[in-house]
Amino acid sequence: MTTVLDSLNAGLHQAFAADERVYLLGEDLLDPYGGAFKVTRGLSTAYPERILTSPISEAGLVGIAAGMALRGLRPVVEIMFGDFLTLAADQIINHAAKFRWMYNDQVRVPMLIRTPMGGRRGYGPTHSQTLEKYFLGVPGLQVLAPCALCSTGSSTTSQTLPSGSPGELLYRAILTTQDPILFIENKLLYLQPVQDESSLNEFDVNFLPEVDGIPISPSFTLSLKAAPPASLTVLAYGYMAELARQAIYQLAYEHEIFCELVIPTRLASCSIQPVLDSLKRTGRLLVVEEGTLTLGWGAEILARTSEAPGPVLKACGRIAAREVPVPASGPLENQVLPGVADIAAAAVRLNRL
């Protein structure tokens, strides 16, 4: 069994093997520790001269990586907790993401910032957030989020990383991007197995390698095998996609409500074509995210589906975190973050409309 952590680690190792312009900067990266969440383990042993373990300086690190990218390297930055991205916001928004366009397309900024996001580990208000919504819609910045799925087909870019898997997404992003990428890894995904259609034996998995011709944008659409036509589309990414998969399973067996689950891996730039395709069949949409509700990713998705020509939505809704900081106490945290029961309850409600 390959976990998401193994897959990401393999993606990094292969990227380092494939291109000597790849460097890694971040805090506490060196073996035997190998990074706070161990995604980078083994790299400092295999490529000691290309791993720069750094002081606690998130803004400085991201700026240094932008400078390295402007001068032809392909740096990867690990921000230990996604919560700390705010420290680097000026470097991301006012520097890295702007350089290419601001300098009249005379430069490229091929860098990637990876960071773990999300709660459910009791880390409390400053180490549990899902902050990527603040970085969606920044011109020049791409945002990717892997999920615990892959295609059964082999990858065209890497011989050992399955297509669409977290590691393959990371590998391709590091080696091929021309623009800064923010790569969001939900912490609870790390220990999940990476599954494909053969291991998810109760689901049909439709893998779309690319959405709207946008590079590095695989997406998955899941539905229960041999189920009647679906009446609801559920859209979720990252670890929320795992919870949504549990919810649609429950909905089928306990409520006879059948859903299609659409899982994008690219949040920005935003393309909703797989959602629109699914909505043609279902007419109802539920968007699920772990960040707070207000002015979030789901709001943009619903705005775009409403604007799209075609049949009018029969019903739509959003599930997200409550509008408070993420608490440390387990029972409190469970009430603040959206769970399987919240998704299922919302689906039952929407299905009546």
In angstroms, give the least distance from the CB of 135 to another protein. 17
User: Angle CA(192)–CA(144)–CA(250) in degrees, nearest 5?
Assistant: 45
In angstroms, give the least distance from the CB of 50 to another protein. 8
In angstroms, give the least distance from the CB of 77 to another protein. 10
Nearer to another protein by Cβ, of 67 and 325: the residue is 67
Nearer to another protein by Cβ, of 80 and 148: the residue is 80
The residues with which 288 forms a beta bridge, in sequence order, are 319
DSSP 45-72: HH-GGGEEE--S-HHHHHHHHHHHHHTT
From residue 245, give the alpha-carbon distance in Å to each of 200, 302, 334. Answer: 10, 20, 18
Nearer to another protein by Cβ, of 105 and 307: the residue is 105
Nearer to another protein by Cβ, of 62 and 344: the residue is 62
Residues 117, 132: contact at Cβ < 8 Å?
A: yes
In angstroms, give the least distance from the CB of 106 to another protein. 6
Nearest to 286 by CA among 224, 204, 346: 346
Report the interface residues with another protein, using CB under 8 A. 23, 52, 54-55, 57, 59-73, 75, 90-91, 94-95, 98-107
User: Angle CA(114)–CA(119)–CA(124) in degrees, nearest 5?
Assistant: 110
Nearer to another protein by Cβ, of 63 and 296: the residue is 63
Nearer to another protein by Cβ, of 124 and 140: the residue is 140
**Is residue 250 within a helix (H) or strand (E), and if so which, with residue range?**
helix 238-250
Which one-letter amino acid corresponds to residue 312?
A: V
Distance CA 351, CA 49 (A): 56
In angstroms, give the least distance from the CB of 215 to another protein. 10
In angstroms, give the least distance from the CB of 16 to another protein. 14
